[in-house]
Amino acid sequence: MSADERVDIAYKAPKPANYGEGLSGTNLERAGDHNQRVTLQAIRANGPITRADLAQITGLTAPAIANITKRLLDDNLILKAGRLLGGRGQPATKLVVNPDGAFSIGLNIDRDHIAVVALDFQGKVRARVSKEVHFAMPDDVVAFFKAATSQMEASHAINFERLIGIGIGMPDDLGRVRLPNRPEAYELWSQINIAELFEPILNVPVCLENDATAAAIGEMQFGHGLQTASFIYTLISAGLGGGLVINGHYFRGADGRSGEIGFLPITRTLPDGDKAPASLQDAVSLYALYGHLNAAGFAVSTPADLENLTAAGLEKVDEWIEAAVQHLHDPFLTLSCAINPEAHYVGGRVPAAFIEKLCTRLNENYAKLSDRVPKIAPVTRAALAADAAAMGAAILPFNERFLPIREALMKTA
């Protein structure tokens, strides 16, 4: 590492509120790459921004910022966006991320749908193709992915020459968890190498992640996480998943299951009044909502069906929301007390209005505890909602190549 790329230790630079301790340069062995990642992230989160402001935010020296931004400009990852007038001397150039600097594709595979999105470097969805299908087999998903990406290439939605990778988000236990109507052959998902299945299609690297983790990372990098350093993320999809972001970094836990509350044991009341052991996701998930409505005579099997319910159907949805609030109350409260995050975001394919109502009811209940519990994180709908897992998956290649990751600095060889 050259001298001009070292952190100016004597200078205590102010950090933006959205990243706390996370967005700062380093003088560790891997600082060259890390400092470039940090600078790029600062531009992405705060641009248009001057080099002087970048030095303040990152704690890097002015020569280091000059060298790094020159490399980023040469690589077309950032652009000049006009000049800042009003000061003495030459006007300062402002920098922004180049949306066409890099692209990635995200694939979300779940038990009730497949979704493919193409993302630009600013996190904007350039193309989206999805299919409502229950328990799609690997060959079907591969065929769908090939058709979707061919369609994106034909329409010039993105520049495939600047495609850096494919991110795949899917439940860890996709082929193992037994759900109603799940075919036995679906266990195949737990026996195949997913990366080897998709890597040859576009000949780019594949990043694989749990869907809830991908959604949480997406929220961290392109959603509310830009302004929130620590938060809990809960994904309501065919099942129920979650993740934790602490001080601007995703916290995986010992087995990559941080924030996973879907398997918490609960007791459910059956239609005949009997009690039965169950998991939390048996009561709070899209499949649980479909089951509640189907039992009442409303034939629904997709989120679009939920958007077109009659008033009577919406009353049944309100019943489910109230039951979900009761089931989520204690787990959410426990997470909030244990972690002390700034917020708790809820995303997934449940219609936005339903999630908003769920969050409102939870917050109303927590407000009644204000005299007993000093701080409870507000529950809010996530910025990345319906396509959260697909968008989060698409962000994984960006994370791998360009964005700051604490783990990269911890490797020794």
Chain segment 305-361, per-residue pLDDT in tens: 999 999 999 999 999 999 999 999 999 999 999 999 999 999 999 999 999 999 999
Tell me, yes or no, whether 160 and 61 share the same domain: no
Residue 221: predicted pLDDT: 81
Tell me, yes or no, whether 149 and 87 share the same domain: no
Q: Is the pLDDT of residue 85 over 70?
A: no
**Domain annotation covers residue 93:** yes
Residue 350: predicted pLDDT: 94
Percent of the chain scored above 70 by pLDDT? Answer: 86
Tell me, yes or no, whether 375 and 256 share the same domain: yes
Q: Is the pLDDT of residue 21 over 60?
A: no
Residue 44: predicted pLDDT: 85
Are 268 and 56 contacting, i.e. CB atoms less than 8 angstroms apart?
no
Confidence of residue 83 (pLDDT cuts 50, 70, 90): low
Token pair of 282 as six digits: 């048996």
Tell me, yes or no, whether 328 and 237 share the same domain: yes
Q: Which helix (H) or strand (E) holds 50?
A: strand 49-50
**Domain annotation covers residue 229:** yes
Residue with tokens 């989060």: 392
Are 103 and 127 contacting, i.e. CB atoms less than 8 angstroms apart?
no
pLDDT averaged over the chain?
86
Tell me, yes or no, whether 234 and 373 share the same domain: yes
Residue 411: predicted pLDDT: 31
Token pair of 294 as six digits: 């189907």
Closest CA to 209 of 142, 275, 147, 256: 256
Are 97 and 121 contacting, i.e. CB atoms less than 8 angstroms apart?
yes
Residue 32: predicted pLDDT: 58
pLDDT tens, 134-168? 999 999 999 999 999 999 999 999 999 999 999 99
pLDDT tens, 276-285? 899 999 999 9
At 268, which CATH number?
Answer: 3.30.420.40
Number of domains composing the chain = 3
Confidence of residue 19 (pLDDT cuts 50, 70, 90): very low
**Domain annotation covers residue 228:** yes
Q: Is the pLDDT of residue 3 over 80?
A: no
Q: Is the pLDDT of residue 404 over 90?
A: no
Closest CA to 247 of 20, 35, 400, 58: 20
Q: What mean pLDDT do residues 87-114 have?
A: 88
Residue 28: predicted pLDDT: 37
Secondary structure E strands in 133-181: 163-170
Are 377 and 231 contacting, i.e. CB atoms less than 8 angstroms apart?
yes
Tell me, yes or no, whether 167 and 265 share the same domain: no
Token pair of 63 as six digits: 């020569």
Closest CA to 359 of 376, 341, 338, 345: 345
Confidence of residue 87 (pLDDT cuts 50, 70, 90): low
Confidence of residue 412 (pLDDT cuts 50, 70, 90): very low
Q: Is the pLDDT of residue 108 over 90?
A: yes
Range of the domain at 241: 224-383
Q: What mean pLDDT do residues 209-228 have?
A: 89
Tell me, yes or no, whether 334 and 397 share the same domain: no
Q: Which value, in Å, is the radius of gyration of the alpha carbons in the chain?
A: 23
Confidence of residue 301 (pLDDT cuts 50, 70, 90): very high
Confidence of residue 9 (pLDDT cuts 50, 70, 90): very low
Tell me, yes or no, whether 162 and 201 share the same domain: yes
Q: What's the number of CA atoms in the CB half-sphere (13 Å) around residue 9?
A: 4
Q: What mean pLDDT do residues 382-409 have?
A: 79
Q: What mean pLDDT do residues 297-307 have?
A: 95
Q: What mean pLDDT do residues 218-247 have?
A: 91
Residue 1: predicted pLDDT: 40
Tell me, yes or no, whether 322 and 365 share the same domain: yes
Tell me, yes or no, whether 301 and 233 share the same domain: yes
Assign 256 to helix, strand or coil: coil
Q: Is the pLDDT of residue 405 over 90?
A: no
Domain final residue, candidates 64, 98, 132: 98
**Domain annotation covers residue 127:** yes
**Domain annotation covers residue 413:** no
pLDDT tens, 172-190? 878 777 666 788 899 999 8
Tell me, yes or no, whether 326 and 394 share the same domain: no
At 49, which CATH number?
Answer: 1.10.10.10
Token pair of 203 as six digits: 């000949």
**Domain annotation covers residue 174:** yes
**Domain annotation covers residue 259:** yes
**Domain annotation covers residue 61:** yes
Token pair of 410 as six digits: 């911890």
Tell me, yes or no, whether 297 and 368 share the same domain: yes
5-9, 201-205, 365-369, range with the lowest pLDDT: 5-9
- The sign one gets for the Cα dihedral 329, 335, 340, 345 is negative
Token pair of 137 as six digits: 């087999």
Domain final residue, candidates 98, 120, 146: 98
